[in-house]
Amino acid sequence: MKILYKPFGIIAAIIGARLARKVSKDVWGTIDDGEPPKATTQNATLTKVLGATALQAATTAATRAAVERAGLRWFYFTTGIWAGDKKPAMTNGAADTSSGE
């Protein structure tokens, strides 16, 4: 049934990527007045470049995860089918949380 969700997932990913880009720039705007520097920007310090990149990665990941989760929940409530991963199987009344070490 995951195949039914694919078109919705692709649309959600596109929306999530665009929204993440905007959120990232908005968050950077609260820190600095200019655009976030790229690694190739000559006059930017290393700490500013690394900070901007880390901030962009964090906001992008969080925004995309939120959009994907919202899309999955919408699909579930409309169709009754959960297209994402299922809960881990229970063994002896508890989930297996061993790290495999």
The string of pLDDT tens digits covering residues 37-85 is 888 989 989 998 998 899 989 988 898 889 889 988 988 998 888 888 8
The mean per-residue pLDDT over the stretch 23-35 comes to: 85
What's the pLDDT at 101? Answer: 46
Backbone region of residue 62 per phi and psi (left: phi > 0; alpha: psi in -120 to 50; beta: other values): alpha
- Give residue 74's identity as a one-letter amino acid code: W
81 contact partners, CB below 8 Å, separation of at least 6: 1, 4, 5, 75
Distance of alpha carbon 87 from alpha carbon 91, whole angstroms:
12
What's the pLDDT at 58? Answer: 92
- Give residue 92's identity as a one-letter amino acid code: N
Distance of alpha carbon 66 from alpha carbon 17, whole angstroms:
11
Q: What is the DSSP letter of 34?
A: S
**Is pLDDT of 96 > 80?**
no
Full-model pTM: 0.68
